[in-house]
Amino acid sequence: MRSGELPGTLPRGVVFPSDHDAVVHVVRYAVEHGIPVVPYGAGSGVLGGSVPLSNELVVDLKRLNCVKVVDTFNGLVTVGAGINGGQLESLLNAQGYTCGHLPQSLNMSTVGGWVACRGAGQASGLYGKIEDIVLGLACVLPNGETLRIQPLSHRSTGPSLRDLLVGSEGTLGIITEVTLRIWRQPECEIATVFALPDQAAGLELCRQVVQSELRPSVMRLYDLRESAERTKGLSAFDQRPILCMLMFSGPRRVIQEESAMAGEIAAAVGAAIAPDDPITHWRNTRFDSYSARRQSADEYMDTIEVVVPWSAVSAFYEATEQLARSIHPEMHFGAHWSHSYSESVCQYMTFRLPRMPQAQGLALHAATWDGVCRLALVWGGSIAHHHGAGAFRGPWMAQEHQCGMQVLQSIKDSMDPDNLFNPGKLGLRPRPNAVRMGYVASGVES
Partner 1 sequence: MSAANVRACSLTPSQVDAMSSLRLCMLCPAQCRRFWERSQPEQSEVITPSSLAMLAVFVAQDVIVLDESVRQALQRRDMAKVCRAGCPHDLDVAGSIDCLVGERLEAGAR
Q: Which helix (H) or strand (E) holds 243?
A: strand 242-250
Q: Which helix (H) or strand (E) holds 355?
A: none
Residue 284 in the binding site for partner 1 (CB under 8 A):
no
C-beta of 208 vs 291, nearer to partner 1: 291
Residue 287 in the binding site for partner 1 (CB under 8 A):
yes
Alpha carbons 91 and 77: distance in angstroms, whole number? 11
Going by the DSSP 8-state scheme, the letter that residue 353 receives in this structure is E
Which of these ranges, 1-9, 114-122, 173-181, 324-332, lies near partner 1 under the rule CB under 8 A?
A: 1-9
Runs of H (alpha helix) within 286-357: 291-296, 310-327
Residue 154 in the binding site for partner 1 (CB under 8 A):
no
Least Å distance, CB 168 to partner 1, is 22
Residue 52 in the binding site for partner 1 (CB under 8 A):
no
Residue 289 in the binding site for partner 1 (CB under 8 A):
yes
Contact status, residue 295 vs residue 351, Cβ threshold 8 Å: no
Contact status, residue 201 vs residue 271, Cβ threshold 8 Å: yes
Least Å distance, CB 312 to partner 1, is 32
Closest CA to 220 of 293, 86, 294, 122: 122
C-beta of 4 vs 34, nearer to partner 1: 4
Q: How far is CA 183 from CA 162, 203, 445, in A?
A: 21, 29, 45
Burial of 189 (0-12, 13-18, 19+ CB in 10 A): middle
Residue 10 in the binding site for partner 1 (CB under 8 A):
no
Residue 157 in the binding site for partner 1 (CB under 8 A):
no
Residue 350 in the binding site for partner 1 (CB under 8 A):
no
Indicate which single residue of 296, 329, 442, 443 sits in contact with partner 1 (rule: CB under 8 A): 296
Distance between alpha carbon 72 and the CA centroid of its chain, in Å? 27
Indicate which single residue of 160, 256, 322, 358 sits in contact with partner 1 (rule: CB under 8 A): 358
Q: Which of residues 70-129 bind partner 1 (CB under 8 A)?
A: 82-87, 90, 105, 107-108
Q: Number of C-alpha atoms within 13 angstroms, CB side, residue 412?
A: 23
Q: How far is CA 108 from CA 45, 290, 312, 422, in A?
A: 10, 13, 34, 21
Least Å distance, CB 376 to partner 1, is 25
C-beta of 120 vs 201, nearer to partner 1: 120
C-beta of 60 vs 223, nearer to partner 1: 60
Alpha carbons 106 and 84: distance in angstroms, whole number? 8
Which of these ranges, 36-44, 68-76, 112-120, 414-422, lies near partner 1 under the rule CB under 8 A?
A: 36-44
Please report, as ranges, the residues that interact with partner 1 according to CB under 8 A: 1-4, 14, 16, 40, 42-44, 60, 62-63, 65-66, 82-87, 90, 105, 107-108, 287-289, 291-293, 295-296, 358
